[in-house]
Amino acid sequence: GKSMQEQLRFAVCYWHSFGWAGTDPFGDPSFERPWHGAGEPMAQALHKADVAFDLFRLVDTPYFTFHDRDVAPEGASLAEFHTNLRRIGEVFARKMQDTGVRLLWGTANLFSHRRYMAGAATNPDPEVFSYAAAQVKNVLELTHELGGANYVLWGGREGYETLLNTDLKRELAQLGRFLQLVVEHKHKIGFKGQILIEPKPAEPTKHQYDRDVAAVFGFLREHGLEHEVKVNIEQNHALLAGQTFEHEIAMAQALGIFGSLDMNRGDELLGWDTDQFPNNLPQVALSLYEVLKGGGIGQGGLNFDAKLRRQSIDPDDLVWAHATAMDLCAQALLVAERMLQDGALQRHVQQRYAGWDGEAGRAILNGERSLEDLARDVAERGLDPRPRSAQQERLEHLVNSYL
Ligand code: GLT
Ligand code: MN
Ligand code: MN
Ligand code: MN
């Protein structure tokens, strides 16, 4: 059959692997790569692309992901940025052809440059909105040309620090319009990939508008986009929103907007986005169980949005981190498959809700019973609940037997 890498559509992301150099809010870079620091920017970008595709092959990843800024130097103007991006795009196209590595998604960085410090789509200045729009147009087109399966929008600066200077209603409307423009352009150029929003509640802004799956769904409905845009769910972001990864996956599936996953591991003791490599078998297994139960990964994938720890300064650490994370997810997939095949959990769920499949249950959901009808039913029949144990301890323990 298909390899695990293919089944789960693993992806290596460009930014953590080749961009980040071990900085943190208190610390300078802790390691150096040949493309960090001084030198002709385009030469560095080309070198980085070589190393990137070497890593892709070494860890046998079928997909990768990138931001415009990760791969091409910004230059002095947007036009120059665009030219640089096109050049790298040609290099990518060739390397993808040679290696068979495909693009899971592309995205625009609308958060690092200081022009975006007050937001991109939600900026009080329409000039910044337009600049962001132009940037997205370029990467969306490149993503389309490279055969990308998805296009991601993470609203890192789409939020606020204080309401005292913020017109929240206006900013939401701007964000909605921005998204509509992206969707319109997607159709115009014939891009068949999914547009995905990546929710996150905070960081870098204090309050981000796309805080979790439920908030994104409400926003999409408000702008008539619930059939056009799905979500890319990240473990660490879910944790920051006070949710679990599994909850966000199940919620997105229930609302019909499940798109793709950013795999990593947050840490309950560190209340920020640490993006550690996933290493927790039971949790990843439960997450993949939800994915499988809901119909599988579809056009999405498992993007390792994970960075090395600051003290892992050896380039080999990067290979090990990816290889072991992929191995973990492959093991977790086997566990999730065992959980499904055994069927004990699903049988329990089916029995638990069986009443709703009967005539009385269906009549309620079909809208055939009013409150008065129901009150009369109960008065005539008497209430006849059958108290049953939910067997939670037993079911939770059962999971251990699949590990
Ligand atoms: C940034 C963020 C990630 C997003 C990336 C996509 S950029 O690193 O923390 O979670 O997936 O824009
Ligand atoms: Mn803002
Ligand atoms: Mn992410
Ligand atoms: Mn993150």
Residue pLDDT, tens place only, 52-71: 999 999 999 999 999 999 99
Note whether 391 and 348 are within 8 A (CB).
yes
Residue pLDDT, tens place only, 252-311: 999 999 999 999 999 888 889 999 999 999 999 999 999 999 999 999 999 999 999 999
Cα–Cα dist 96/49, whole Å: 11
Our mutation pick for probing the ligand 1 site, out of 139, 233, 305, counting the most ligand atoms within 8 A of Cβ, is 305
Ligand nearest to the CA of 237: 4
Residues whose CB is less than 8 angstroms from the CB of residue 374 and which lie 6 or more positions away in sequence, other chains included? 364
Our mutation pick for probing the ligand 1 site, out of 13, 14, 15, counting the most ligand atoms within 8 A of Cβ, is 15
Whole-number pLDDT of residue 384: 75
Residue pLDDT, tens place only, 197-253: 999 999 999 999 999 999 999 999 999 999 999 999 999 999 999 999 999 999 999
Ligand nearest to the CA of 234: 3
Residue pLDDT, tens place only, 39-53: 899 999 999 999 999
Average pLDDT over residues 348-362: 95
Helix axes 392-402 and 315-342, enclosed angle (nearest 10): 120
Whole-number pLDDT of residue 386: 77
Cα–Cα dist 44/34, whole Å: 8
Average pLDDT over residues 387-402: 91
* 305 CA to centre of ligand 3 in angstroms: 5
Note whether 252 and 230 are within 8 A (CB).
yes
Q: Is 279 helix (H, G, I), strand (E, B) or coil?
A: coil
- Ligand 1 binding pocket, CB closer than 6 Å: 15, 67, 107, 152, 154, 198, 234, 262, 273, 305
Whole-number pLDDT of residue 34: 82
With a cut of 90, say whether residue 123 has pLDDT above it. Answer: yes
Ligand 2 ion: residues within 5 Å (CB): 118-119, 122, 160
Confidence label for 174 from pLDDT (cuts 50, 70 and 90): very high
Weakest mean pLDDT among 92-96, 147-151, 383-387:
383-387
H/E stretch holding 233 reads strand 229-234
Q: Whose CA is nearest to atom 6 of ligand 1?
A: 154
Pairing of strands 207-208, 159-160: antiparallel
- Amino acid identity for residue 365 in this structure: L
Task: Give the count of beta carbons closer than 10 Å to the beta carbon of residue 50.
Answer: 12
pTM: 0.97
Ligand nearest to the CA of 117: 2
Whole-number pLDDT of residue 1: 65
**Catalytic residue ranges:** 67, 70
- Least Cα distance to 247 among 219, 212, 221, 277 occurs for 212
Cα–Cα dist 247/287, whole Å: 9
Mean pLDDT value across the chain: 96
Residue pLDDT, tens place only, 18-29: 999 999 999 999
